[in-house]
Amino acid sequence: MHIELYNVSKRFGDITANDGVSLDIREGEVVALLGENGAGKSTLMKMLFGLYPPDDGAILVDGKETSIHSPQKAMSLGIGMVFQQFSLIPALSVLDNLLLAYPRAPFWTFRHLFETSAARSGQILDYLHELAPGLAPHTLVRDLSVGQRQLLELIKVLNLNARVLILDEPTSVLPPQEAERLWGMIRKLAEGGRSVVLITHKMEDVMACADRVVVMRNGKLINTLERDDCTEVSLVQMMMGERVDRAPVTTPPHDSVTRQPAKVLIRDLAASQGLQSIRGINLELRPGEILGIAGVSGNGQHLLADALVGLARLSAGDVIIDGVTLQSASRSPASSGQVSYIPEQPAVNAVAADLSLTVNVALSHFRNLSFFPHWAPEKATTESILENYEVRPPNPDLKAGQLSGGNLQKLVVGRELKDEKDLIVAAYPTMGLDAGAAHDIYQALFRKAAEGAAILWISEDLDDLMEYAHRIAVIRGGEIAGIFDPREADRYDIGRAMTSQQSDETPPTPDTNVETRTGVSG
Amino acid sequence: MEMIIIEVLSLLFAALRSATPVLAVVLGEIMTQRSGVINLGVEGQMLMGAMTGFAVTAITGDPWLGVVAACGAGILLSLVHVVLVLGCGANQIASGIAVMILGGGLSAYYGIPFVGEKINSFDSFGGSGIGSIPLIGRFLGATTPTVLLTLISIPVISLFLYRTRSGLHWRSVGESSEITRNLGHSPVPYQFAAIVFGGLMSGFAGAALAVDYTSNWVEHMTAGRGLVAVGLVIVARWNPWYALPAALLFGVSEALNLRLQSWGVDVSQYLLATLPYLIPLVVLMLSFRGLKAGGGGMPMGLKAVFTNS
C-alpha cells in the first residue's frame, strides 16, 4: 500500500500545527518522523488516522484521493496507530483485550476453544504467539510491564490486518533493552511488507531502524533524507533550526559537590500504600547534588516521593536533614517548610482547579497567612512567577482550571522553587512539556542546586538523567537496584538494573520482568 | 444429634428463602454496576414489583402472572433511571434516590386497596415427591419456584458475563467506557441493557418477597432490602458467584433473628430486627480492608460516578 500526503495543512485556532506538508509512505519501508515536541508530527499522523480532518490538501491511498473521516475508516483501509497512551483494560486478560479489538470475535469466548482448535487460534492469537511467545493469553494486563503492554497494543493493530502502522513515540516509555527489541520487531514488520511510520524525537530510533528520515519543525516539513545520507549532527541541526540559543543548563560541578558532607540522609526507609511498597531505601544527598531516580514507572517512585515529603506513613527508617529528623517511622508524617515537592501530573495533584492562581500559589504556605489574608503581596508573588516562567495567560485572577496542563506545570514549578529549600523532590517535572519549556524548568531547578539545595529528581528520561544528574539511583520493585555515576556508567547497565534481576549479558525476554506493578493511583 | 442437624438445616433453608429476594437484587445490581452504572433505585423498583406482583396475583389468582407483571413493573421504573442517567446525563446517585422514593410513593398509593388481601401463592415442591426424600426432603420440599429460578440465574449470568463476546463488551464498558468507545463499541446499549436487567431482577425480587415469601402486601415492606443489596454487591466483589454467600449473610441473620425471637431471648425485638442489616454492615467494613489493597474487583468505570457530576 502506498500512501501520499499532499500539501496537508491543519490549524487549531491561531496555531498552525501543519503547514503544507507533503510526504509519501511506501510499502515495506520504515519512515522516521523526527522532530521536537510540538513540531506537528503527531497531528500529521492523526490526520492520516482519521482523528482530525485536514484543513487543506489531500491524502492519496494507492494513487486515489481518499477522505479518511474516522479511525474506523482508517482501519478498514489498513492503517493502524499505536498511541502513547494505551487503550488496554488492566482488569481484563490479554486474550480479552485482544478479543475486544478483534472485528470478528466469536460469540463464545471459552478459553479452551482457542487453545485446542487450531483454526480459531490461528486468527486471534497468531501474532501473540509469534511476537511474544512467553506471554500467556490469560495473564491480566495489569500484571504486564510497560513494554509488554505496548507489544499487546501493536498486536491489536496487527490483528486488524494493518498494512501501515503508525507508532507514536514508542520508545519513550521503554528501558533501553526493550527499545532494542522493538527496533528489531519494526524491521521484521517492514521486511514482511508492511510500512511503519515511527514518530520520534530520539536519534537512536532513527539510526537503529529507519529507511528514510523526515524532519519536521514548527509544523513544516524541513527535509526528507535516506538514512545513509544523514548523520546525527546534521539531523539535530535540522530538528532544532537556527533557534535563538538559550543559556545552557548549568549544574554544579561534580567535584565541588562530592567534596561536601551529606546534607540529607535517608536511612532504611520503608513504607507501603495499597499495592505499592518500598523498603530498605538508603540514600545520601549532598548540598547542591542532583540525585536522579530512574526506573520503570510503577516501581515505587511515587511512594518514595510521598514518603520523603510527609504524605505517606513510614513503616521503618527515617529522613534526616542537617542532623534534624524530618520524617521517622515513630512519628506521624508531616509536611515541612524545608522541603519542596513537585508531584507528578501537577495539573491534577498540585493545584485546586476552582481557585485562582493567586490562591493556588498562597496555598503552598497557607500556615503563614494571617487569619484575614493580605492578598496584595500574594498577588505580586504570583505575578512574578507568571512572568519568570512564561505562564500563559499571565493573569493571576484566572482560575487554575482555565490554564492548560503545561502552563499549570510551569506555575507549580515556579511556586515550589520560589523559596529557599533544603530538599527539593521533583517527580517528572518536564513530562509533556515542549523542549523550550523543559529547558527553562531544568534551568530553574538546577539553579536551586547551585544555591545549595539537594535535589531528588525522578524521571523516565534516561538521556536527561545521564546529562544532568550527579548520580543516578535505579529503583526496581520498591528497592534501590543500583547507584550509577553517569560519567562512567553505560546506559545498558542502567537499563538492566531497571528491568532484570541479574546483570548478565542476555537481554530480558518478555516474561522475565512481570514484577512491574501498576500503582493504585494510576 | 439428629435434632441439631435438623435445626441447622431448617435454619439454612429458612435463610435461603429469606435471602432469595435480596439475592435477585444483588445479581441485578452486579450486572448494572458491571456496566459502570450504579442504581440506588432498586429499593423502589423492588417495592413496585412487590405491589404489582401482589395486585395481579390477587386479581387473576395466578402467581405466575404476578411474577411476570412484577418484572414488567421493575423494568418500567428502571426506565426512569435510564432516561435520567443515559438520556439527560444526570448524576447517578441523585437519579437513583429519585427512583427509590418514586417507587416507594407509587407502590404505597396504588397498593392501598390490597393491604390485608389474601392470595393463593405458589405451591411448594413438597407435593411432587421431593418431599418424601428422607431427612432433607421436607426442607427441599419447602423451596419454591422463585428460589429455584434465582439460583439458576447465577450460572446463567456468569456464563453470559465471562464466556460470551457480549459479556466481554459488557465488562469492558464497566471498566472504561472511553476505551470501549475508542475500540468502536458504543457503551450506551450495554448500559441501557444493564439498567433494564437490574429493573427486571429487582421487580422479580419484589414478587419473590410479596407473592411467594410472605404472601402479603404492606406499604414499604422491603424495609431497606434493596439498599442492603447494593451494599452486598461490594461484599460479593461484583462477582455473580459470590452473590449467593453475600445474600445468605442477610438470609441467615434474618432467620436467626426470627429464631432468637421464637426462643424468647430477652432482647427487644426491635433491636433483634436490626440484625440482618448489622451483620452485612460489619462484613462490609471488614471486606473493605481487603478491598483497598487488592482493588476488590470494582469496575473502574464506577469511579466516574463520583468524578463526573
Please list every residue in chain B whose beta carbon sits closer than 8 Å to the beta carbon of residue A274: 292-293
Do residues A25 and A164 touch, judged by C-beta distance below 8 A? Answer: yes
Mean pLDDT value across residues B262-287:
83
**Which pLDDT band holds residue B182 (cuts at 50, 70, 90)?**
confident
Strands A15-25 and A3-12: antiparallel
Assess if residue B105 is contained within a domain: yes
Please list every residue in chain B whose beta carbon sits closer than 8 Å to the beta carbon of residue A152: none
Q: Does one domain contain both A444 and A330?
A: yes
For residue B309, pLDDT over 50 is answered with no
Assess if residue B3 is contained within a domain: no
Please list every residue in chain B whose beta carbon sits closer than 8 Å to the beta carbon of residue A87: 179, 182-183
CA distance A100 to B176: 12
- Determine the distance from the C-alpha atom of residue A14 to the mean position of all C-alpha atoms in its chain, rounded to a whole number: 27
Facing residues of A344 across strands? none
Question: What average pLDDT does chain B have?
Answer: 86
Q: Give me the half-sphere count of Cα atoms (radius 13 Å) on the Cβ side of residue B70.
A: 33
Assess if residue A433 is contained within a domain: yes
Assess if residue A117 is contained within a domain: yes
Nearest by CB to A109, from B165, B292, B299: name it.
B165
Predicted confidence (pLDDT) per residue in B18-34, tens digit: 899 999 999 999 999 99
CB pairs under 8 A between A and B: 56
Q: Does one domain contain both A65 and A213?
A: yes
Assess if residue A521 is contained within a domain: no
CA distance B187 to B184: 9
Q: Does one domain contain both A386 and A299?
A: no
Assess if residue B4 is contained within a domain: no
What is the chain A residue with the closest CA to B160?
Answer: A108
Domain boundary among A134, A160, A186: A160
If you count them, how many residues does chain A have?
A: 522
Q: Does one domain contain both A71 and A166?
A: yes
At A285, which helix (H) or strand (E)? strand A276-285
Q: Does one domain contain both A48 and A102?
A: no
Please list every residue in chain A whose beta carbon sits closer than 8 Å to the beta carbon of residue B184: 71-72
pLDDT at B127: 59
Assess if residue B19 is contained within a domain: yes
The range of the structural domain enclosing residue B70 comes to 10-308
Assess if residue A345 is contained within a domain: no
Q: Does one domain contain both A425 and A502?
A: yes
Cβ atoms within 10 Å of A242's Cβ, excluding its own: 6
Please list every residue in chain B whose beta carbon sits closer than 8 Å to the beta carbon of residue A106: 165
Q: Does one domain contain both A320 and A451?
A: yes
Q: Does one domain contain both A152 and A299?
A: no
At A214, which helix (H) or strand (E)? strand A212-217
CA distance A4 to A2: 7
| pTM more than 0.80 | no
Mean pLDDT value across residues B3-29:
88
For chain A, first and last CA: distance in Å?
Answer: 39
Q: Which of A243-247, A452-456, B229-233, B281-285 has the weakest average pLDDT?
A: A243-247
Mean pLDDT value across residues B187-214:
93
Facing residues of A9 across strands? A56
pLDDT at A219: 84
B294/A275 Cβ within 8 A: yes
Torsion B18-B212-B235-B93 (CA) sign: negative
Assess if residue B5 is contained within a domain: no
What is the chain A residue with the closest CA to B291?
Answer: A274
Assess if residue A348 is contained within a domain: no
Strands A339-342 and A195-200: unpaired
Cβ of B289 under 8 Å from any chain A Cβ?
Answer: no
Q: Does one domain contain both A512 and A387?
A: no
C-alpha cell belonging to residue A421: 529549600
Q: Does one domain contain both A127 and A167?
A: no
The number of distinct structural domains making up chain B is: 1
Name the one residue in this structure whose C-alpha cell is 393491604.
Answer: B115
Cβ atoms within 10 Å of A121's Cβ, excluding its own: 16
Q: Does one domain contain both A259 and A280?
A: yes
Assess if residue A343 is contained within a domain: no
Q: Which of A76, A93, A100, A141 to mutate to test the interface with B (most CBs of B within 10 A)?
A: A100
Assess if residue B301 is contained within a domain: yes
C-alpha cell belonging to residue B105: 410513593
For residue B240, pLDDT over 70 is answered with yes
pLDDT at B133: 67
CA of B190 vs chain A CAs: smallest distance (Å) = 14
Rounded-to-5 percentages of helix, strand, coil across chain A? 35, 25, 40
A109/B163 Cβ within 8 A: yes
For the domain that residue B94 is a member of, what is the CATH number? 1.10.3470
Q: Which of B39, B55, B42 is nearest to B108 (CA)?
A: B55
Q: Which of A435, A434, A493, A505 is nearest to A466 (CA)?
A: A493
Which residues of chain A, if any, have pLDDT below 50?
A: 118-119, 502-522
If you count them, how many residues does chain B have?
A: 309
CA distance A44 to A63: 19
DSSP at A195: E
The number of distinct structural domains making up chain A is: 4
**Which pLDDT band holds residue B304 (cuts at 50, 70, 90)?**
confident
The amino acid at A318: D
| B290 or A282: which leads in pLDDT | A282
Q: Which of A303, A310, A371, A313 is nearest to A339 (CA)?
A: A310
Assess if residue A280 is contained within a domain: yes
CA distance A194 to B152: 51
Mean pLDDT value across residues B217-223:
89
Q: Which of A431, A446, A371 is nearest to A173 (CA)?
A: A431
Q: Does one domain contain both A23 and A120?
A: no
Domain boundary among A125, A160, A195: A160
pLDDT at B84: 93
Assess if residue B1 is contained within a domain: no
C-alpha cell belonging to residue A318: 527515617
**φ/ψ of residue A47, rounded to 5:** -70, -40
For residue B289, pLDDT over 90 is answered with no
For the domain that residue A225 is a member of, what is the CATH number? 3.40.50.300
Q: Which of B33, B34, B160, B163 to mutate to test the interface with A (most CBs of A within 10 A)?
A: B163
pLDDT at A505: 40
Q: Which of B48, B94, B18, B33 is nearest to B202 (CA)?
A: B48
The range of the structural domain enclosing residue A395 comes to 353-420
| B63 or A250: which leads in pLDDT | B63
Assess if residue B251 is contained within a domain: yes
Do residues B29 and B230 touch, judged by C-beta distance below 8 A? Answer: yes
DSSP per residue, B4-16: HHHHHHHHHHHHH
DSSP at A246: P
User: In Å, what is the CA distance from B124 to each residue of A184, B17, B55, B132?
Assistant: 69, 12, 21, 13
Q: Which of B115, B57, B110, B105 is nearest to B80 (CA)?
A: B105
